[in-house]
Amino acid sequence: MQKTVTLNNGVNMPLLGFGVYQIPDAKQCEDVVYEALMAGYRLIDTASGYLNEEAVGRAIKRSGIPREELFITTKLWIQDAGYESAKLAFAKSLKKLQLDYLDLYLIHQPFGDYYGAWRAMEELYREGHIRAIGVSNFLPDRLMDLIVHNEIVPAVNQVETHPFYQQAKSAAFMKEQGVHHQSWAPFAEGRGNLFSNEVLASIADKHNKTIAQVVLRWLVQQDIVAIPKSVRKERIIENIDIFDFELSADDIERITSLDTGETLFLSYHDPEFAKMLGTLRVEL
């Protein structure tokens, strides 16, 4: 039985899942999601902006796994932010995934009319179409603003989190507010030479594990939900094999020392980045 965390509305969410960002090829995406489900993953994380919801839906159907055993997440893209458009986008995502309900629906980016979108999501949640609602990439100030001016506190905030950008202050804030911390890019997409880092390599050698397994163990040991992605079957299997060892306090301290406090991707404080995302149109 996969380990879970309990969200602020009592829903249980698997601690480890499988992400499908940057797998736009339909056949490949369907195959790797199917392999992940066969390997034991029960949380699958996609987004309308990834353009692969239909492939994920086919893999789910192909797996034959009872729906109640799965935890499926997708996300609302910026161009669909707003009350009416969010409801339409949700219906479209549900149809593509071939599902009757979602386990978690996230606002993908903190731009556009996400207040209107949140009101629509609150209604969909109350009507039973979504088991939990949350956000992604929300900095503490925007997260607090959303909490203060709405009725439902987000269950999850999915943010960049890896050994080089550990989000300690944001994590503490989220915990205070009852918002569960979820990591995207747990391996930093290999940036910063993560897979050859000497500290991580020595900890991996000590436990007879890989660097990837150490990073995932470091996250889940802190109750941070991780969604690693791979298109290789052996890595998919390897990444879920992290529940038979435990990092020591010294291991954790050494990994903590790797934190630079800086994003390895793009800053949400950058107005040019906000402009670029806000004007990006995706053929959904």
Single out the catalytic residue among 21, 34, 41, 50: 50
Identify the sign of the CA torsion 158, 160, 163, 165: negative
Distance, first Cα to last Cα, the chain: 35
Do 46 and 20 form a contact (C-beta atoms < 8 A)?
yes
The H or E element that residue 205 is part of is helix 198-207
Distance of alpha carbon 213 from alpha carbon 208, whole angstroms? 10
**34 in active site:** no
Count of other CB atoms within 10 angstroms of residue 207: 17
Q: Quick one: which of 240, 246, 261 has its CA closest to 203?
A: 246
Count of other CB atoms within 10 angstroms of residue 169: 10
Count of other CB atoms within 10 angstroms of residue 54: 17
Q: Give the residue numbers marked as catalytic.
A: 50
